[in-house]
Structure 1
């Protein structure tokens, strides 16, 4: 099948990040072609823990519902030293939240649901299996890409090339770019097994368990009666021998016997992993951008790998759409690199700490870990040291997009650069979450606005109606949207008359106490050219 000679966006790599990005772009009206070297979704569970933030991003393309209905939600976990519990942690959650803190589901299911989301716009989002990037030549107007598809070399001209082609990225290699950072020596065998179980869904970890002395072992339940088992192997074990079934199955059986899981079981998939803390210095190189493992490799501990890749897609999609739709200059894409490199460095810092505890790199770290574990047996105040620090949205404190804080006395969790806290609001008798408005245009949340301010906001929204994704205005008061559960005060801390302006990806752009129409218009004008022209006309008048 011949590929198109030209596409606005070519996505290299049809894993969960590439497919989600294609679906997001299609929602913004942007056409893309995704090329994937394999002929189907991935095999094995791979990345399995989908965070609340990732569920929200998948929700922007309608892929959250199958993830929630198929996946297994969980809120916490337990850690053991030997066979004694030393930690029981719970992630922040409440019954009014839209999503669970974490959902376990195999990566191939996420890929399938993202692909189905692409098919909501078949005229925009195209996927070519068994096709890989073979070479590229970039210039200041686009990228000429050589693609091997169905045994033939074809040339595709793209306005933008997005590298989502994983840790062994061909795009990255073709451009002579290298990931920088550190790689840990500790290795883990990863095993999927099928076994019926009635055990609660939670993250389980054993340090030096009697079933596998000297090792660290993790377990997660997954859909389809599947256990994911990760266990550390000794430094002197041969890698090839370590993944042979005759060596893997007895170790798994020993642990199942120890925890009382006696139902028959069978292995499904075996692999080997070691932790890496690597990243590019920047994710934009002219007309080529990097997302997911092509730009960074994060340790699995704390489940920041796939989740950070989906956050890349959520950040990049709206900015690229704004550029391609002529609503912003391509300098907006520089902020993608700034924000997501910052996020990666935060994730690497947390991931490194978790790795050094889960797979100590030397004698000193092993000694410190054993001391913490032994103390945790008798002293509860030590137990937080064992907390795996699960993935959470990263704040963009130094983003060039952040506006000056016009409400510095309000809650710091809702300051510019922070992920906007979700709240459950009511429109009449209909409940809906603030986060349901993200993934589209900018959102202005007005808290008990005076009639004049409300009218000014709605006038701004009306002036953006010709844009692909207009401004949304949400006025919370007693007559329209209502804060029935009283969540706005604790989460935003803004007084009546305040306005919080949020980006399409759900991050706070700016906030003000009693703002004027001129200031709000100026804040939005860089993203809505119609407002800029109106501002100029007013100035000329």
Structure 2
């Protein structure tokens, strides 16, 4: 038995990217259907850094207040050696460029329920859990999506499809879009601790990069713990990297005086890839978020870029529906692809490359307030999304 629906936009995937797009569309009066193959929103620990440009979007959507109350507000970024800090950047210096001159650390799983609650309150939005995208057919006037809804077939006709279903995107595969790139040669070990790291690294900032020669550790302060991030060489098996002894040895390599390893609340190892979709659309089916681009996690940019994709494409679809001009969405997709290729990937690769030349550049940037502000603006992704001009 096949059930049929008709709507204006289908959003496939209910992560932060899909739900931001869905809420923008629905608030503008567009009829939407959101498909999510899982039975509920994922609670998995994934991206957790929200940059100022993204905070502006979330504020417009009315979900930022609860996030600020719950998250860790980051006002400083620090670079240091075992002897102490050698460069520090103060995000308050961005106050003239953004109303939110700070980063926010909070699990993305704390954002998605806030978005979902608003979507479900709108009469023109339908949220379908347990419904997995399977196939799409289309012509110049629209798309027809086939989905599996708890074992039964569902077909949905719409003007547009937006695939926000992750790095293994079924939408991207159905469209035959290549996702070429590379796997980074290293993996990442993430260790969570409740210890007070200020006792070991006095004056540590909520984002701190600790360097000693060619070795480094990264530290991110979360609302309930510290995350210690360690690069794992490609020839080290995951089971070895997860052992207490391996973790302790890496800490001592970077900071010999840190002889007592921190208390471990949890740990995991994950890999990362660098890929950009060869096209961001076929006809009236479009890609956003991890389905369109993935990169390493240093700097926390990929999810933010996906949320920016969602805003740009959703707003283009709203205008295209009103003006009957699908070329507006095509042009926006091309611009988002340019941003990924020319800005997102080079910046995240630079963050990973490191090296003495980069560290010297960091010192020089921190020594000049104007250079530091420009550096912070790029790290905050303020130039990676078209934003309305601020009032004087």
Work out the CA distance in 1 between the residues paired with 2:15 and 2:246: 28
- Give 1:29's aligned residue: 29
**Alpha-carbon deviation of 1:102?**
1.1
**Alpha-carbon deviation of 1:74?**
1.5
The 3-state SS of whatever aligns with 1:46 is: coil
CA contact (8 A) 2:6 2:158 kept: yes
**Alpha-carbon deviation of 1:152?**
3.0
Q: Which has the higher relative contact order, 1 or 2, with Cα contacts under 8 A spaced 6 or more apart?
A: 2
Measured at CA, do residues 150 and 251 of structure 1 come closer, stay the same or move farther in structure 2, by a change above 3 Å?
A: farther
**Alpha-carbon deviation of 1:72?**
1.6
Q: Is 2:312 the counterpart of 1:312?
A: no
CA contact (8 A) 1:15 1:111 kept: yes
Q: Is 2:260 the counterpart of 1:271?
A: no
- Give 1:161's aligned residue: 161
CA contact (8 A) 2:52 2:98 kept: no
- Give 1:238's aligned residue: 237
- Give 1:492's aligned residue: none
Where structure 1 has 5 or more consecutive residues not aligned to the other structure, the ranges are: 358-368, 397-417, 424-487, 489-541
Matches within 5 A, 1:332-347: 332-345=328-341, 346-347=343-344
Work out the CA distance in 1 between the residues paired with 2:59 and 2:383: 19
Matches within 5 A, 1:326-337: 326-337=322-333
Work out the CA distance in 2 between the residues paired with 1:191 and 1:125: 39
How many residue pairs get matched?
A: 379
CA contact (8 A) 1:197 1:261 kept: no
2:387 to 403, 408, 419: 419
Work out the CA distance in 1 between the residues paired with 2:255 and 2:16: 31
Work out the CA distance in 1 between the residues paired with 2:6 and 2:352: 44
- Give 1:392's aligned residue: 381
CA contact (8 A) 1:83 1:206 kept: no
Q: Is 2:93 the counterpart of 1:110?
A: no
- Give 1:128's aligned residue: 128
Work out the CA distance in 1 between the residues paired with 2:148 and 2:239: 31
**Alpha-carbon deviation of 1:331?**
1.3
**Alpha-carbon deviation of 1:200?**
6.5
1:284 to 281, 298, 305: 281
**Alpha-carbon deviation of 1:179?**
1.8
TM-score, structure 1 length as denominator?
Answer: 0.62
- Give 2:206's aligned residue: 202
CA contact (8 A) 1:293 1:309 kept: yes
Work out the CA distance in 2 between the residues paired with 1:191 and 1:380: 28
**Alpha-carbon deviation of 1:151?**
3.0
Where structure 2 has 5 or more consecutive residues not aligned to the other structure, the ranges are: none
CA contact (8 A) 2:177 2:278 kept: no
Work out the CA distance in 2 between the residues paired with 1:152 and 1:258: 61
Work out the CA distance in 1 between the residues paired with 2:261 and 2:183: 37
Work out the CA distance in 2 between the residues paired with 1:302 and 1:52: 13
**Alpha-carbon deviation of 1:294?**
0.6
The 3-state SS of whatever aligns with 1:353 is: helix
**Alpha-carbon deviation of 1:227?**
2.0
- Give 1:77's aligned residue: 77
- Give 1:298's aligned residue: 295
The 3-state SS of whatever aligns with 1:100 is: coil
Bigger radius of gyration, 1 or 2? 1
Measured at CA, do residues 234 and 60 of structure 1 come closer, stay the same or move farther in structure 2, by a change above 3 Å?
A: same
TM-score, structure 2 length as denominator?
Answer: 0.84
Cα RMSD (Å):
3.4
1:381 to 361, 364, 388: 364
Measured at CA, do residues 335 and 264 of structure 1 come closer, stay the same or move farther in structure 2, by a change above 3 Å?
A: same
Work out the CA distance in 1 between the residues paired with 2:233 and 2:293: 26
- Give 2:66's aligned residue: 66
**Alpha-carbon deviation of 1:119?**
2.9
Measured at CA, do residues 283 and 39 of structure 1 come closer, stay the same or move farther in structure 2, by a change above 3 Å?
A: same
Work out the CA distance in 1 between the residues paired with 2:100 and 2:365: 30
